[in-house]
């Protein structure tokens, strides 16, 4: 035991341990204050990253459509939430890849190479993201928030502020997702009605129709390659294959 403790002490003495120091000190250099404020702003952006991922990308539409699909089939816990969220997340990466490539080439890479300032990088990063949101935002929803904000009417789409564009884009995505969910629900609802009518005509009122219709809905979904059709439809709805 003594030899074992000696080996631990020797190994601890040879390996340097990192130390972390956090402190607040006064300064008269404005540059140091600016750097501190930039760090605080960066940490704030990182805390808002999940909201940015959900509200400024196609993630909202995809996750809602998958939720409607699971409820329409009648599978409350299958696939699990982790699988559905993971699939929606990777589809978001796939659909948003062209946008993020432009952000990386035009804004992030030059900023890392110290070719442009962070203000210029932010302005250039907004261009492809703004373009994506404008393509998928209804003019009616955009006009609603322009009117509610009581600002001067923009002369063109490039003059629309992000504070107006983002909520308009979100409600447009919600409306589109609910329309797709209605279309998905319709065939499964027909199957439920047919099964319920057959059971009622046979006098089997105590037998739950959902128990009988579930295998038929699963068979229909598999035969038509439901996951492939829905994934392809979602991707095409954002104009990736155009």
pLDDT (tens digit per residue) in 172-199: 999 989 998 888 888 888 888 888 787 7
Residue 57: closest CA among 238, 239, 241, 242: 238
Is residue 146 pLDDT above 70, yes or no?
yes
Rounded Cα–Cα distance for residues 146 and 142 (Å): 6
Burial of residue 110 (number of CB atoms within 10 Å: 0-12, 13-18, 19+):
middle
Structure confidence by residue, pLDDT tens digits, 125-143: 888 888 888 888 888 888 8
Distance CA 189, CA 187 (A): 5
Global pTM exceeds 0.85: no
pLDDT at 139: 83
């Amino acid at each position: 035991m003594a030899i074992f403790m000696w080996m631990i002490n020797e190994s601890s003495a040879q390996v340097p341990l990192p130390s972390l120091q956090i402190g607040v000190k006064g300064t008269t250099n404005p540059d140091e204050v600016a750097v501190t404020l930039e760090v605080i702003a960066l940490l704030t952006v990182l805390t808002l990253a999940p909201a940015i991922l959900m509200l400024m990308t196609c993630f909202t539409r995809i996750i809602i459509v998958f939720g409607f699909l699971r409820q329409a089939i009648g599978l409350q816990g299958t696939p699990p939430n982790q699988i559905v969220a993971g699939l929606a997340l990777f589809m978001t990466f796939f659909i948003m890849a062209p946008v993020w490539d432009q952000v990386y080439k035009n804004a992030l890479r030059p900023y890392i190479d110290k070719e442009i300032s962070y203000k210029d990088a932010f302005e250039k990063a907004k261009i492809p993201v703004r373009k994506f949101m404008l393509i998928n935002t209804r003019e009616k929803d955009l006009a609603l928030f322009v009117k509610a904000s009581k600002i001067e009417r923009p002369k063109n789409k490039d003059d629309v502020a992000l504070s107006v564009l983002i909520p308009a884009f979100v409600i447009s995505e919600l409306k589109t997702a609910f329309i797709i969910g209605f279309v998905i629900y319709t065939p499964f609802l027909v199957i439920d009605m047919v099964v319920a009518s057959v059971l009622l005509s046979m006098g089997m009122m105590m037998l739950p129709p959902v128990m009988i219709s579930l295998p038929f809905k699963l068979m229909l979904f598999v035969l038509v390659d439901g996951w492939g059709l829905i994934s392809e439809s979602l991707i095409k709805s954002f104009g990736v294959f155009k």
